[in-house]
């Protein structure tokens, strides 16, 4: 494999409650090693059917607002055809249709080119699976 493409899988524990988990520091750590000052693209991908990747502001309430909005759009009730797992778990399988399981971000000079308040986050509403993986891939 060429230096132009590097990938790494990171393991996370998201616990037993819905969460927006900030991945920005992990992305930056990966790019320090993988990009080595080069321009390119960072792809962030979650290989799970019940989680997504969002680029949002965190810490000022936006992460809680996102979870509240998802609760409104995707209530944890009996309307879902997908019925295994905890009550309302079918909603978790619809989540990636609204919060995509990937994001591709510009890398300039080896650093993420995010806006001032943007963070890269894992969005996980699935309380049944606290163990998650995220694949980071740099192409440059």
pLDDT digits (tens, 9 = 90+) for 58-74: 999 999 999 999 999 99
Q: Judge whether residue 1 has pLDDT over 60.
A: no
Report the topology of domain 5-139: Jelly Rolls (2.60.120)
Extract the tokens encoding 84. Answer: 């295994």
Q: What is the pLDDT of residue 33?
A: 96
Comparison of pLDDT for 85 and 117, the residue scoring more = 117
Mean pLDDT of 83-110: 93
For the entire predicted model, the pTM comes to: 0.94
- Of 8-17, 76-85, 102-111, the one with minimum mean pLDDT is 76-85
Domain boundaries defined on the chain:
5-139
Extract the tokens encoding 96. Answer: 């990636």
| All residues at 6 or more sequence positions from 32 whose CB lies less than 8 Å from its CB, including other chains | 110
Tokens 């790019």 belong to residue: 31
Q: How many angstroms separate the CA atoms of 18 and 91, rounded?
A: 12
């Amino acid at each position: 494999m060429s230096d132009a493409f590097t990938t790494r899988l990171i393991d996370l524990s998201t616990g037993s409650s819905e969460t927006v988990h900030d991945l920005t520091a992990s992305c930056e750590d990966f790019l320090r090693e993988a990009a080595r000052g080069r321009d390119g693209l960072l792809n962030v991908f979650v290989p799970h059917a019940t989680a997504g990747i969002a680029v949002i502001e965190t810490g000022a309430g936006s992460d809680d607002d996102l979870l509240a909005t998802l609760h409104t759009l995707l209530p944890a009730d009996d309307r879902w055809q997908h019925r295994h797992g905890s009550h309302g778990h079918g909603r978790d399988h619809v989540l990636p249709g609204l919060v995509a399981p990937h994001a591709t971000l510009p890398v300039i000079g080896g650093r993420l080119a995010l806006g001032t308040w943007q963070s890269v986050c894992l969005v996980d509403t699935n309380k049944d699976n606290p163990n998650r993986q995220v694949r980071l891939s740099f192409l440059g």
